Amino acid sequence: MEPNDSRRVWLTGAGKGIGRALAIAMVEAGWTVAASARTADDLDSLAAEAETKPGHVVGYPVDVTRAAEVSETVERIEADLGPLDLVVLNAGTHQPFKAADFDIETFRRLVETNLMGTVNCLAPVMARFIERGRGHIAVVASVAGYAGLPTAAGYSATKAALINMCEALEPDLARHGVKLQLVSPGFVDTPLTRKNEFKMPFLIPADQAANDIMAGLQSRRFEIVFPFGMKVAMKALRALPYRLFFAITRRMVGS
């Protein structure tokens, strides 16, 4: 990443985990980061952490499940900082549950945050970028969207929806001069993944994930997926016939 690059970026889910690590990597590259999260205290501490770095962070608290609030926030960011160059839609949540604990409201919260929260952000951003004939959008999904995994029925469903949505949008956005990328992390050590009660293979720290995303944003690849071992394992699992697929996932339930 070139230092002192004056990009203006809107990053959601910036308060913790991958989003926070990515915000720090961006300001180290000299970028101006409009950082959004629900919790203002997280954004204040992020801005304080970034004070000594070449770029800077400006906090914009927002609840991505509220479409009108999101639209107003995008308008305010561009009024304050100027037209955005890059938007990284990273806000999301995770709540593992087993079939016996299947709950409508829990599932709804996952859909409203992970899927509709991203949609709420995409709508005002795409409208601006299409009108300008330029722009760069990255949507954070997950390798969990490749296949339905035990205890992740809600999370996997929302991430699979994001993957399909981005695949559908990419050709049309490219026609308008807008670059769309999909970010599919494997297991990253964050407060969300610490909810998992199983050993997570190929687990990486958040700062490594941030570095992988930063490198991927400079590439022409549609999908930024990491770590490599998790990518191979999940794509191989998805390619299996269901008889073998369920033989593996049933063992996960047993463990």
Asked whether residue 2 is assigned to any structural domain, the reply reads no
What secondary structure does DSSP assign to 12-23, as a single string? SS-SSHHHHHHH
- For residue 63, the tally of other CB atoms under 10 A from its CB is 16
Tens of pLDDT, residue by residue over 53-104, are 999 999 999 999 999 999 999 999 999 999 999 999 999 999 999 999 999 9
Low-confidence winner among 1-15, 33-47, 145-159 (lowest mean pLDDT): 1-15
Specify whether the CB–CB gap between 16 and 37 falls below 8 A. yes
- State the DSSP H helix or E strand holding residue 152, giving kind and residue range, or none if neither: none
Residue spans of beta strands (DSSP E) within 64-135: 86-89
Q: How far apart are the first and last CA of the chain?
A: 42
Domain of 161, in residue numbers: 8-254
| Residue that is written with structure tokens 């699979």 in the block | 160
Task: For residue 77, tell me if it sits in a domain.
Answer: yes
Q: pLDDT class for 253, splitting at 50, 70, 90?
A: confident
What's the half-sphere exposure (Cβ side, CA atoms, 13 Å) at 13? Answer: 26
Give dist(CA 121, CA 62) in Å, integer.
Answer: 11
Residue 106, domain member (yes or no): yes
Of 81, 65, 103, nearest to 31 by C-alpha is 81
**Average pLDDT, integer, range 6-23:** 93
Number of domains in the chain: 1
Average of per-residue pLDDT values in the chain: 92
Q: Please state, in angstroms and rounded to a whole number, the distance separating the CA atoms of residues 153 and 29.
A: 37
Is the pLDDT at 175 greater than 90, yes or no? yes
pLDDT beyond 70 at 201: no
**Model confidence band, residue 193 (pLDDT cutoffs 50, 70, 90):** low
Nearest by Cα to 50 from 104, 97, 95, 9: 9
CATH code for the domain in which residue 37 is found: 3.40.50.720
Would 63 be classed as within a structural domain? yes
Q: Tell which residue, 85, 41, 31, 87, has the closest CA to residue 64.
A: 87
E strand segments, 97-154: 136-140
Quick check: 239 pLDDT over 90? yes
Number of Cβ within a 10 Å radius of residue 191: 11
116 within some domain: yes
- Give the pLDDT score at 82: 96
Residue 1 counted as domain residue: no
Query: Residue 200 — very low, low, confident or very high, per pLDDT cuts 50/70/90?
Result: low
Identify whether 217 is part of a domain: yes
Q: How far apart are CA 60 and CA 11, in angstroms?
A: 10
Question: Quick one: CA dihedral 210, 215, 217, 221, positive or negative?
Answer: negative
140 and 181 in contact (C-beta within 8 Å)? no
Residue 122's pLDDT is 98
Answer yes or no: is 26 within a domain: yes
- Give dist(CA 176, CA 133) in Å, integer: 5
| Higher-confidence position of 6 and 62 | 62
Known catalytic membership, residue 242: no
> Which of 60, 146, 155, 242 does the annotation list as catalytic?
155
pLDDT greater than 60 at residue 4: no
What is the rounded average pLDDT of the residues 163-188?
95
pLDDT digits (tens, 9 = 90+) for 93-124: 999 999 999 999 999 999 999 999 999 999 99
Give residue-wise pLDDT tens across range 132-164. Answer: 999 999 999 999 999 998 889 999 999 999 999
- Read off the tokens for 32: 């101006």
From CA 192, how far away is CA 195, in angstroms rounded? Answer: 6
